Amino acid sequence: MSAKILLVGAGKMGAALLKGWLDTGISCADIAAVEPHEPTRIGAARRGIGVSVAPDALGLGYQPDVVVFAVKPQSMDAVVPAYAAYKRKGVVFLSIAAGKPISYFETKLGRDAAIVRAMPNTPAAVGRGFSVLTANRNVDVAGQGRAAELLAAVGEVAWVQDEALMDAVTATSGSGPAYVFYLIECLAKAGAVAGLPADLALRLARSTIAGAGELARLDPAPAAELRRNVTSPGGTTEAALKILMGEGGLETLMIRVVAAAADRSRELARG
């Protein structure tokens, strides 16, 4: 990518993006960051990029091609307006903040700003994330390509035209890793209750879920078929699935879980 990237916020997700960009060959010289938190700023600087404490320290002549907002949603009001100065033709503002709609950034940056809203998830830290993007009418094909390329550095990418779908994306994928981590906790606890040493139960839970996920990624068969492949008639797995797939079971629970997260995403968008 022959573009100057300004990363606003070098915390966990910002650091994951930065690592992905450098690993895919983007030059340190093409990346600048703004990070007020000193330990985080020092960590980003160790990667060889220029890191400033505030945007006014970047210099009068600095002109990025993409501004990536990787700060927490509750910090946006204090952060975003300072970057309106970088608005010009061809500049894309890319936000990865949950619950902040495109209209929010248009209010802060101007209705003529080119804005991409994205929802990545935390597996981006190991290059296995999934990001869904949507853009306003001001983002041209080149701008869409730049935004997609930046997020493809940390995993898969997909686009949606209807921004309203981003609430369901957030609830399914953005929050999804937490559901999986909690499943590991629950499976480990259940194994311990069944009599396993707690450390062994945790190792089994982590490895089983990670391994099953990798199998699902690599095997093109539908998840239902993979499930049936493990389920012998009259066997132990079938006994367990009768509970998981019964009335009020996991499917019903997950529908409620995703709906609750999507509702909260909509609430955040309304401020």
Could you report the per-residue pLDDT of 186-210, keeping only the tens digit for each?
Answer: 999 999 999 999 999 999 999 999 9
Tokens found for residue 127: 């290059």
- Cα 169 versus chain centre, distance: 10
Q: How far apart are the first and last CA of the chain?
A: 35
Tokens found for residue 225: 């078929």
Is the pLDDT at 164 greater than 90? The verdict is yes
Model pLDDT for residues 242-269, shown as the tens digit of each residue: 999 999 999 999 999 999 999 999 888 8
Please state, in angstroms and as integers, the Cα–Cα distance from residue 125 to each residue in 12, 107, 213, following that order: 8, 31, 17
The number of CA neighbours under 13 Å toward the Cβ of 96 is: 29
Q: CATH fold of 176-270, please? A: ProC C-terminal domain-like fold (1.10.3730)
Q: Residue with structure tokens 């927490």?
A: 72
Model pLDDT for residues 104-159, shown as the tens digit of each residue: 999 999 999 999 999 999 999 999 999 999 999 999 999 999 999 999 999 999 99
CA dist 66 and 21 (Å) reads 13
Domain ranges of the chain: 5-166, 176-270
Q: For the chain, what's the residue count? A: 271
Tokens found for residue 208: 């089983």
pLDDT at 146: 96
The number of CA neighbours under 13 Å toward the Cβ of 100 is: 25
How many beta carbons lie within 10 A of that of residue 54, not counting itself? Answer: 10
pLDDT at 210: 97
Closest CA to 147 of 124, 122, 172, 120: 120
pLDDT at 90: 94
How many beta carbons lie within 10 A of that of residue 15, not counting itself? Answer: 21
Model pLDDT for residues 54-112, shown as the tens digit of each residue: 998 998 889 999 999 999 988 999 999 999 999 999 999 999 988 899 999 999 999 99
Question: Rg of the chain's alpha carbons, rounded to an integer?
Answer: 21
Written out in words, the top-level CATH class of the domain with range 5-166 is: alpha beta
Please state, in angstroms and as integers, the Cα–Cα distance from residue 105 to each residue in 5, 16, 136, 247, following that order: 18, 23, 10, 43
C-beta separation of 67 from 8 below 8 A: yes
pLDDT at 1: 63
The DSSP symbol for 1 reads -
CA dist 71 and 51 (Å) reads 15
pLDDT at 60: 82
Tokens found for residue 143: 């701008």
Say whether pTM exceeds 0.85.
yes
